[in-house]
């Protein structure tokens, strides 16, 4: 009897904690987004969509996620394959690859700012090599493409490791016999990867993509460090409404939008990368 109840007892504190510090505030925020003094309202959402920056922020956020996540996925797969095939020094490489994970996203933004800003490392280097006479303004408001690329680079640098870690763990779970069987049948390395490893990685890919995409929709500190207000994203608009404009209701409404697109993408990955029942390892 004791043994049966034990898991529930052990899970209770964490569940209570999440209930009090996550579900309850979440309920409050959701209510704030849909309510005013006179009850239910959608006016906060119309204020939100009525602001000229909202659609820019919305598309910027989506575009950034769409540009960053596929590149990260490919890089993480390549890096994970390399690491899995290593005989020696595997751990050292994994540790080095995951260093950016230990750095806060604001710090990551500031590191890249130090590279790209007018008196930054990139300008010093180009000047030192004689390519330019005067420092170039990379992150000015007139060069949104460069700002976008800089944010992409910083995001890729910062957050590829989280996918890598999940995929390395997933690859470790695939029994060697499958690869050996493929070899026996004369499959090339690429065929083995594409036909054997990738399908068996589905559960890990699903987790990695869901986690990463949700994180991509919450991008904030890197963007604000590199672009200030020139590249609005949904999260920066939430912050602006909450703290600069003191309008928590509209901030809550934007947070609901972020939640909605996160749910849509989560369902998408759950569906596309679903593992048929009984087909697991």
Partner 1 sequence: MKLKRTTMVSLCVAAISLTSSNISQAETLFWSTQAKPVEEAQAMRDNVLANAGQKVDFQPNDGGPWLTRLKAELEAGKGSIGMLGALHGDFTSLPADALVDLSEVDLGDTKVNSTFMELGKLGGSEQKYLPWMQATYIMAANKKALEFLPADADINALTYDQLIEWAKNMAEKTGSPKFGFPAGPKGLKHRFFQGYLYPSYTNSVVTKFASDEAIVAWEKFKELWQYTHSGSTNYSFMQEQLLSEDVWVAFDHTARLADAFNQKPDDFIGFPAPAGPTGRGFMPVIAGVAVPKTAADAASAKQLAAYMLKPETQLATLRTTNFFPVVEVALPDDMPAAVKIAGAAIAAMSGSADANPGLLPAGLGDQGGKFNQVYVDAFERIVLAGQDIKQVLDEQKEDLRKIMNDTGAPCWAPDKPSEGACPVE
Question: Which residues bind to partner 1, rule: CB under 8 A?
Answer: 52-53, 117-119, 134, 137, 139-142, 224, 228-230, 242-247
The burial class, CB within 10 Å (0-12 / 13-18 / 19+), for 56 is middle
- Placement of tokens 């604001």 in the chain: 106
Instruction: Spell out the SS3 assignment of 34-68.
Output: HEECCEECCHHHHHHHHCCCHHHHHHHHHHHHHHH
Retrieve residue 54's tokens. Answer: 């909202």
Residue 216 CB, shortest distance to partner 1, in Å, is 22
Output 84 or 242, the one with its CB closest to partner 1: 242
Residue 49 CB, shortest distance to partner 1, in Å, is 15
Residue 232 CB, shortest distance to partner 1, in Å, is 10
Residue 193 CB, shortest distance to partner 1, in Å, is 44
Residue 142 CB, shortest distance to partner 1, in Å, is 6
The vertex-256 CA angle with 248 and 204, nearest 5°, equals 135
Output 121 or 243, the one with its CB closest to partner 1: 243
C-alpha to C-alpha distances, 138 to 111, 141, 149, nearest whole angstrom: 15, 9, 10
Residue 223, CB-side half-sphere exposure with 13 Å CA sphere:
22
Output 87 or 119, the one with its CB closest to partner 1: 119
Retrieve residue 216's tokens. Answer: 């991509």
At residue 39, φ and ψ (nearest 5 deg) are 105, -150
Output 41 or 230, the one with its CB closest to partner 1: 230
Retrieve residue 55's tokens. Answer: 């659609």
Output 87 or 134, the one with its CB closest to partner 1: 134
Output 51 or 212, the one with its CB closest to partner 1: 51
CB 167 within 8 A of CB 205: yes
Residue 227 CB, shortest distance to partner 1, in Å, is 8
């Amino acid at each position: 009897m004791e043994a049966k109840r034990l898991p529930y007892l052990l899970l209770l504190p964490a569940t209570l904690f999440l209930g009090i510090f996550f579900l309850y505030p979440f309920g409050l925020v959701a209510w704030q987004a849909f309510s005013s003094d006179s009850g239910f309202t959608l006016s906060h959402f119309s204020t939100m969509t009525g602001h000229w920056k909202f659609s820019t922020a919305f598309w910027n956020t989506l575009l950034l996620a769409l540009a960053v996540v596929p590149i990260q996925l490919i890089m993480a797969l390549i890096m994970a394959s390399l690491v899995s095939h290593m005989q020696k020094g595997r751990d050292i490489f994994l540790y080095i690859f995951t260093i950016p994970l230990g750095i806060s996203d604001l710090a990551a933004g500031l590191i890249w700012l130090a590279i790209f800003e007018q008196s930054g490392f990139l300008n010093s280097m180009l000047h030192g090599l004689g390519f330019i006479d005067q420092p170039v303004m990379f992150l000015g408001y007139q060069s949104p493409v460069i700002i976008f690329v800089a944010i992409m680079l910083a995001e890729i640098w910062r957050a590829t490791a989280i996918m890598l870690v999940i995929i390395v763990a997933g690859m470790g779970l695939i029994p060697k016999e499958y690869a050996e069987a493929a070899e026996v049948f004369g499959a090339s390395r690429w065929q083995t990867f594409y036909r054997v490893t990738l399908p068996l990685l589905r559960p890990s890919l699903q987790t990695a993509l869901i986690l990463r995409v949700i994180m991509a929709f919450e991008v904030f500190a890197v963007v604000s460090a590199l672009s200030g207000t020139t590249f609005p994203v949904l999260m920066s608009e939430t912050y602006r409404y909450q703290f600069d404009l003191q309008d928590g209701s509209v901030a809550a409404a934007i947070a609901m939008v972020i939640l909605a697109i996160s749910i849509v993408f989560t369902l998408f990955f759950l569906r596309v990368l679903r593992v048929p029942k009984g087909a697991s390892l």
